[in-house]
Amino acid sequence: MLKGLAEYHDLTLGDLLEGIVLHAFDGKCPFGQESLARIKDLKKFYALDLDAGASHRLVEKNVSLPVHKKRK
């Protein structure tokens, strides 16, 4: 979803994230009304029903990584 928003604003993903973080550090919303409307559309498109509160409930699955055999 972030990549789609970055493309909409003709930004790199890194530039978008930096802008979001800098606004957050200042306690400000990084998005205007037009961007918030686009975010709402993107959330529908990607079937994303998460909000800020979900970030405290997300848990990564315990995935076993493949073990690489040492070469002889």
C-beta separation of 38 from 45 below 8 A: no
Q: How many domains does the chain have?
A: 1
Is residue 43 a part of any domain in this protein?
yes
pLDDT level of residue 60 (50, 70, 90 thresholds): confident
Is residue 42 a part of any domain in this protein?
yes
Range of the domain at 30: 2-49
**pLDDT by residue (tens digit) across 7-58?**
999 999 999 999 999 999 999 999 999 999 999 999 999 898 888 888 888 7
Is residue 72 a part of any domain in this protein?
no
List of residues 6+ apart from 59 with CB closer than 8 A? none
* pTM given for the model: 0.69
Predicted confidence (pLDDT) at residue 67 exceeds the cutoff of 80? no
Q: What is the 3-state secondary structure (H, E, C) of 5-34?
A: HHHHCCCCHHHHHHHHHHHHHCCCCCCCHH
Is residue 62 a part of any domain in this protein?
no
Is residue 56 a part of any domain in this protein?
no
- Name which of 22, 67, 30, 19 is nearest 52 in CA terms: 30
pLDDT in the model for residue 72:
59
pLDDT in the model for residue 58:
77
